[in-house]
Amino acid sequence: MIPHGPREDLLFTTDFLIEDVHFRRRGRSAADIGYRALARSLSDIAAMGGEPRWAMLALALPPWATRRWIDGFYEGFLELAKEYGTTLIGGDLSHTEKLIADVMVCGVAPRGQALPRSGARVGDAIYVSGELGRGRWRFVPQVALGRKLRESGAATACMDVSDGLAIDLHRMCVESGVAAELDSFRASWNRGEDYELLFTLRPGARAPRGAIRLGRIVAGEPGRITCGGREIPPVGYDHFRGS
C-alpha cells in the first residue's frame, strides 16, 4: 500500500502463473489460462477491499505457444479485465521452455481504509465468503464483497484463501498476534485454489449474505488453530516445499 494524494492509497500485487507449477496445460484453453492469470491478482486486490485499476503482464512463451494460442490467452485476460474495469497498460515478452505469466495489478482504496491481514482481534468472528474445497478454475474474484467489507467498517482483517484454509488462517493469525478456534474442520478445506475471502468481523457485526462462519479469534500462541480442543497444523501449499 502506497499513499497516493490526500484521498487514496495505491494497492499493488503481483502473481505468477507457471506451467506445471500452478497449472497443467492439458484440458485448459488458452482463454481459460489468460483468465486465470489475471483473476489471481484481482483476488488479492479484492482481499484488501480495493478497486482494481491497472494491470501489467510479463509473458514468457514456450515453443508450443502459437499465434492463435497467444491470441486466445489475451482474449481470456482482457475479457476479465474489461469486466472489472482494469486497463492493461504494459508488460514484457520473452521466451522460455514452459509458460510463465507474471501479472501485476494496481488498485485503489480510500486513504487508510484498505483491509489488512494483521487486524484480527480476540473475540472477532471468522468467516469465508463461500464453500471451500471446490477449487474452481474460472473462479469469480470477490471484488464487490471486499469493497462491501471495507465500507462496512466491521471487517478487521481479510485475505484470500489460495493455499488452503489452515495455512492461510495461520498466516493471518501470526500477523495479527492471535490464535483461532474453529467450530468444525474438513481436510478438503486445505486443498487451496479456492480464492474465497477469509475475513474477521467485530463482535456482533452482521455477516454478508452467503458468508460461512468458521469460528472465532481467541487469545493464545500467535498462529495456533484448534478445533474441538484438537490442534490443526498449518498445512496446505507451501511455495518453498510444495504441497
84, 110, 136 - which closes a domain: 110
- Claim to verify: residue 225 and residue 147 sit in the same structural domain: yes
CA gap 82, 79 in Å, rounded: 5
Tens-digit pLDDT profile for residues 71-122: 999 999 999 999 999 999 999 999 999 999 999 999 999 999 999 999 999 9
Expressed as residue numbers, the domain containing 21 is 2-110
CATH of the domain at 152: 3.90.650.10
In degrees, to the nearest 5, what angle opens at C-alpha 12 toward C-alphas 75 and 97? 50
- Claim to verify: residue 156 and residue 212 sit in the same structural domain: yes
Residue 227 confidence class, pLDDT cut points 50, 70, 90: very high
CA gap 102, 109 in Å, rounded: 23
Structural domains of the chain, count: 2
CATH of the domain at 45: 3.30.1330.10
The reported pTM is: 0.93
Partnered with residue 198 across adjacent β-strands are 128, 159
Closest CA to 161 of 121, 122, 134: 134
> Is 205 part of any domain?
yes
| Amino acid 239: pLDDT | 61
- Of the chain, the end-to-end C-alpha distance in Å amounts to 29
> Is 241 part of any domain?
no
Confidence check: pLDDT of 5 > 80:
no
CB atoms within 10 A of CB 18: 14
- Claim to verify: residue 196 and residue 169 sit in the same structural domain: yes
Residue 6 confidence class, pLDDT cut points 50, 70, 90: confident
| Amino acid 68: pLDDT | 97
Closest CA to 10 of 148, 142, 113, 160: 113
> Is 236 part of any domain?
no
CA gap 135, 170 in Å, rounded: 20
Which of helix, strand or coil describes residue 173? helix
Confidence check: pLDDT of 242 > 80:
no
Closest CA to 118 of 89, 71, 159, 60: 159
| Amino acid 139: pLDDT | 96
Tens-digit pLDDT profile for residues 130-174: 999 988 899 999 999 999 999 999 999 999 999 999 999 999 999
Q: Which three cell numbers stand for residue 144?
A: 464487490
* Residue 31 burial (10 A CB sphere; 0-12, 13-18, 19+): buried
Tens-digit pLDDT profile for residues 47-65: 999 999 999 999 999 999 9
- Claim to verify: residue 131 and residue 106 sit in the same structural domain: no
| Amino acid 192: pLDDT | 87
| Amino acid 230: pLDDT | 97
For 9, phi then psi, to 5°, come to -110, 145
Place of cell 489452515: 166
| Amino acid 150: pLDDT | 98
CB atoms within 10 A of CB 157: 24
- Claim to verify: residue 51 and residue 143 sit in the same structural domain: no
> Is 237 part of any domain?
no
- Claim to verify: residue 97 and residue 193 sit in the same structural domain: no
> Which 8-state DSSP code applies to residue 188?
G
> Which 8-state DSSP code applies to residue 242?
B
| Amino acid 240: pLDDT | 58
83, 110, 137 - which closes a domain: 110
| Amino acid 169: pLDDT | 98
| Amino acid 154: pLDDT | 97
- Claim to verify: residue 142 and residue 200 sit in the same structural domain: yes
> What contacts 10, CB < 8 A, 6 or more positions away?
1, 2, 3, 4, 106, 107, 108
225-227 and 179-182: which strand pairing? parallel
- Claim to verify: residue 102 and residue 154 sit in the same structural domain: no
The answer to whether the beta carbons of residues 50 and 107 sit under 8 Å apart is yes
Mean pLDDT (the chain, rounded): 95
- Share above pLDDT 90 across residues of the chain, in percent, rounded to a whole number: 89
